[in-house]
Amino acid sequence: MKQEDLTTKQIIIRAAEQVFMNKGYAAAKTTEIARVAGVNHAMLHYYFRTKENLFNMVFEQKAGLFGSSLSTVFDRPLSFRNKIRLAMETHFDILVANPRLPLFIFSEIMGSEEKREMAKRIILPKATDVLQKLTKGIRKEVAKGNIYPIEPLDLILNMVSVNIFTFIAFEALSDAIKRPDHEMAKRLQLRKESNVQFILRSLKPDK
């Protein structure tokens, strides 16, 4: 089934994803990726020639995903508050499915100029796009006196901050003995709503 259908190349990429996401580029060993994939390690070089090529394939995909998590649809026919809510919830849900994603991206761009440029190239366009839309939305609402006149960049940073940090903290604190999934899930849902409320409350106008 399914698994069997995957080509060797795809199997390797999946294994690479797993290992790179868990250990980072430098600590990951090509031999381990091969072992996880269940193939001879020469196959990695046959298909990708170098560890770095293989990594870049994974990294670009993950950077894209990270970018998508930001670029929420702001064009829906919703009130501003509900747009914010939807954006926060969508972002949060993507992180639920990819809890190690932000830390992975950040760790990698920390030590390498090239990877930083790669990530910027992929992520920045989406970020600036959503920033523009948000800016328009804020202007309108401020004009109507509905929200506090916050800087768009500050708002977006705050939105992603609280969501992302939720998962960094959970990762960091997660014991070897993981809690049952449904309890974890419930806790995350609470935190999601808390984050939304937090952002929305901070937006209320002064008087």
- Please identify, using beta-carbon distances, which residue of 45 and 100 lies nearer to DNA: 45
Least spacing, CB of residue 201 vs DNA, in Å: 48
Tokens for 36? 């996880």
Q: Residue 29 CB: number of other CB atoms within 10 A?
A: 13
Q: Residue 133 CB: number of other CB atoms within 10 A?
A: 18
Least spacing, CB of residue 28 vs a copy of itself, in Å: 8
Least spacing, CB of residue 43 vs DNA, in Å: 5
CA dist 165 and 91 (Å) reads: 12
Q: Residue 188 CB: number of other CB atoms within 10 A?
A: 18
Q: Does 142 bind a copy of itself (CB under 8 A)?
A: no
CA dist 31 and 170 (Å) reads: 30
- Please identify, using beta-carbon distances, which residue of 39 and 150 lies nearer to a copy of itself: 150
* Residues with Cβ within 8 Å of residue 176, at least 6 apart in sequence: none
Binding positions for a copy of itself, rule: CB under 8 A: 22-27, 100, 103-104, 106-107, 109-111, 113, 116, 119-120, 148, 150-151, 154, 157-158, 160-162, 164-166, 168-169, 171-173, 176, 191, 194-195, 198-199, 201-204
Q: Where do contacts with DNA occur on this chain (CB under 7 A)?
A: 8, 28-31, 39-43, 45-46, 49-52
